[in-house]
Structure 1
Amino acid sequence: MKAVILVGGEGTRLRPLTYSTPKQMLKVSGLTMIERVLEHLKRHGIDEAILSLGYKPEPFLKAFPDGIACGVKLSYALESEPLDTAGAIRFAARYGNITETFVVCNGDVLTDLDISEVLDFHSKHGGDATIALTPVEDPSRYGVVPTDPTGKVEAFIEKPPRDQAPTNLINAGTYVFEPQVLDLIESDRRVSIERETFPMLVAKGTLFAIGSHSYWIDAGTKESYMRASFDLIGSKRPSPLLPGYEQLGTNIYVSNGGNESSAKQIKDHVGNFRSPVLMGKNARLGSDVRIEQSAMGDRVELGTSAQIVDSIIGDNCKIGDGAKVINSILADGVEIGSGSVVNNCVLAISTTVPQNSEVLDAKVRTIK
Structure 2
Amino acid sequence: MNQNTIEDIRVMVLAAGVGTRLRPLTYRIPKPLIPIVNMPVMEHSINNFHKQGFRKFMCNLHTHAGLIKNYFGSGKKFGVSMEYSFEKNLLGNAGGLKKVENFFKGSGTLLVISGDGFTDIDIRKAIAFHRKKKSVATMVLKKVQSVFPFGITLTSPAGKIKKFMEKPDITDFVDATVNTGIYIFEHDIFKFIPNHNFFDFGKDLWPLLLKKGLPIYGYVTDAYWCDVGNLADYRRTVADVLDGRVNIRIPGEETQGSVWCEKNVRVGKNVKFYRPCLIGADSEIGDGAKIGPFVTIGRGSKIGPAAVVKNSIIWNNARIESGVKIKNCIIDSGAAIKENLTLYEGAVINTEDRK
Q: Distance in 2 between matches of 1:324 and 1:87?
A: 48
CA contact (8 A) 2:145 2:174 kept: no
Q: CA deviation at 1:165?
A: 4.2
Q: Distance in 1 between matches of 2:311 and 2:139?
A: 34
Q: CA deviation at 1:279?
A: 1.9
Which of 319, 322, 326 is the matching residue for 1:338? 322
Structure 1 residue runs of 5 or longer lacking an equivalent are 252-276
Partner secondary structure for residue 171 of structure 1: strand
Q: Distance in 2 between matches of 1:279 and 1:166?
A: 41
| Corresponding residue number in structure 2 for 1:262 | none
| Corresponding residue number in structure 2 for 1:225 | 234
Q: Distance in 1 between matches of 2:81 and 2:226?
A: 25
Q: Distance in 1 between matches of 2:103 and 2:272?
A: 50
Which of 33, 36, 54 is the matching residue for 2:44? 36
Q: Distance in 1 between matches of 2:69 and 2:351?
A: 26
Q: CA deviation at 1:166?
A: 8.3
Task: Note if 1:296 corresponds to 2:279.
Answer: yes
Partner secondary structure for residue 154 of structure 1: strand
| Corresponding residue number in structure 2 for 1:216 | 225
Q: Report the residue type matching 2:225 in the other structure.
A: W
Pair 183,91 (structure 1): closer, same or farther in 2 beyond 3 Å: same
Pair 92,161 (structure 1): closer, same or farther in 2 beyond 3 Å: farther
Task: Note if 1:247 corresponds to 2:254.
Answer: yes
Which of 235, 241, 249 is the matching residue for 2:244? 235
Q: CA deviation at 1:124?
A: 2.0
Q: Report the residue type matching 2:322 in the other structure.
A: S
Partner secondary structure for residue 205 of structure 1: coil
CA contact (8 A) 1:17 1:349 kept: no
Render the CA deviation track for 1:293-319: whole Å, top value 9, x for unaligned: 222222111111212222222222111
Q: Distance in 2 between matches of 1:186 and 1:365?
A: 40
Which of 63, 68, 91 is the matching residue for 2:99? 91
Q: Distance in 2 between matches of 1:222 and 1:315?
A: 21
Q: CA deviation at 1:84?
A: 2.2
| Corresponding residue number in structure 1 for 2:120 | 112
Q: Distance in 2 between matches of 1:131 and 1:43?
A: 22
Q: CA deviation at 1:175?
A: 1.0
CA contact (8 A) 2:330 2:347 kept: yes
Q: Distance in 1 between matches of 2:260 and 2:24?
A: 23
How many residue pairs were aligned?
341
Pair 300,14 (structure 1): closer, same or farther in 2 beyond 3 Å: farther
Q: Distance in 2 between matches of 1:45 and 1:203?
A: 34
Which of 262, 265, 270 is the matching residue for 1:283? 265
Amino-acid identity (%): 28
| Corresponding residue number in structure 2 for 1:327 | 311
| Corresponding residue number in structure 1 for 2:135 | 127
CA contact (8 A) 1:317 1:332 kept: yes
For structure 1, which segment, 306-315 or 140-149, has the greater mean C-alpha deviation from structure 2 after superposition? 306-315
Q: Report the residue type matching 2:52 in the other structure.
A: H
Q: CA deviation at 1:198?
A: 0.7
Q: Report the residue type matching 1:343 in the other structure.
A: K
Scaled by the length of structure 1, what TM-score is found? 0.84
CA contact (8 A) 2:38 2:299 kept: no
Partner secondary structure for residue 140 of structure 1: coil
| Corresponding residue number in structure 2 for 1:269 | none
CA contact (8 A) 1:337 1:354 kept: yes
Render the CA deviation track for 1:170-190: whole Å, top value 9, x for unaligned: 112211011222222223332
Q: Distance in 1 between matches of 2:321 and 2:67?
A: 30
Q: Distance in 2 between matches of 1:181 and 1:364?
A: 44
Q: Report the residue type matching 1:215 in the other structure.
A: Y
Task: Note if 1:179 corresponds to 2:187.
Answer: yes
Q: CA deviation at 1:339?
A: 1.3
Structure 2 residue runs of 5 or longer lacking an equivalent are 1-8
| Corresponding residue number in structure 2 for 1:355 | 339
Pair 21,96 (structure 1): closer, same or farther in 2 beyond 3 Å: farther
Partner secondary structure for residue 340 of structure 2: coil
Q: Distance in 1 between matches of 2:85 and 2:273?
A: 41
Partner secondary structure for residue 205 of structure 2: helix
Render the CA deviation track for 1:272-305: whole Å, top value 9, x for unaligned: xxxxx22222112122222332222221111112
Q: Distance in 1 between matches of 2:106 and 2:77?
A: 20
CA contact (8 A) 2:38 2:296 kept: no
For structure 1, which segment, 298-307 or 129-138, has the greater mean C-alpha deviation from structure 2 after superposition? 298-307
Q: Distance in 1 between matches of 2:179 and 2:167?
A: 10
Pair 161,296 (structure 1): closer, same or farther in 2 beyond 3 Å: farther
